[in-house]
């Protein structure tokens, strides 16, 4: 059979995702990487500053405290949590975990991943919250 025998429609217009709430949430999920990239670039700048010496490190900390940078990084924090909420529910669907022939309930896997987020935060608190 000729593979290209059937009719093909032209691609959707680029505003297709504005037509339904579900697709807008999908695009929001995909867009969480934009503030992530901003934070990553900040972090790279911080590493350069740390390499240059104490003075430029203090300069970088001050830069991170400027209102716009702080605001964008708060957006990045919110984006990371939204990403986590959307990403954790996908995990059991992509890799259903089986223990002794029984598949683990989805809620258990999702809760386990959130426990990971809390554990990492506690680790940071242990490392940086007290001196």
Partner 1 sequence: MSTEQITTKQINTKHISVKRYLPDSSAEPYWQAYDLPVDDSTSLLDALNHIKEELDSTLSYRWSCRMAICGSCGVMVNGIPKLGCKTFLRDYEGDIRIEPLAHFPVQRDLVVDMEIFLEHLAAVKPYLIDDNPVKAFDPNAPETYRQTPEQLERYKQFANCINCGLCYSACPQFGLNQEFLGPAALTLAHRYNLDSRDHGKKQRMAELNRHEGVWSCTFVGFCSKVCPKHVDPAAAVNQGKVEAAKHTLIALFKG
Partner 2 sequence: MSISKHGAQHKQAFDEPLWWGLFSAGGVCFAVLLPAVILFIAVLLPLGLLPAEALSYERASALLFSVPGFLFIGAVVCLPLFHAAHRLRHGLFDISVGNDATNKKLMYGGAALLSLLALGLVLAGMLG
Query: Which parts of this chain interact with partner 2 (CB under 8 A)?
Result: 3-4, 11, 13-14, 17, 27, 30-33, 36-37, 39-40, 42-44, 46-48, 50-51, 53-54, 57-58, 61-62, 64-65, 69-70, 73-74, 76-77, 80-81, 83-84, 87-88, 113, 116-117, 120-121, 123-124, 127-131
d(CA 87, CA 79): 12
Q: Residue for token digits 């989805």? A: 106
Confirm if 42 and 73 have CB atoms less than 8 A apart. yes
At a CB cut-off of 8 Å and minimum separation 6, what does 96 contact? Answer: 103, 104
Per partner kind, with CB cut-offs from 5 to 8 A, the member of partner 1, partner 2, none near residue 71 is none
Residue 104, contacted partner among partner 2, partner 1, none, CB below 5-8 A by kind: none
């Amino acid at each position: 059979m000729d593979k290209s025998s059937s009719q093909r429609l032209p691609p959707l217009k680029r505003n297709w995702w504005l037509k339904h709430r579900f697709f807008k949430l999908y695009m929001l999920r995909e867009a969480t990487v934009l503030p992530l990239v901003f934070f990553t670039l900040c972090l790279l700048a911080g590493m350069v500053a740390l390499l240059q010496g104490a003075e430029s490190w203090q300069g970088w900390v001050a830069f991170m405290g400027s209102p716009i940078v702080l605001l964008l990084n708060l957006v990045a924090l919110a984006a990371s949590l939204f990403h986590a909420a959307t990403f954790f529910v996908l995990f059991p669907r992509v890799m259903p975990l089986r223990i002794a022939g029984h598949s683990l309930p989805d809620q258990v896997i999702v809760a386990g991943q959130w426990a990971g987020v809390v554990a990492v935060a506690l680790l940071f608190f242990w490392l940086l919250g007290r001196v």
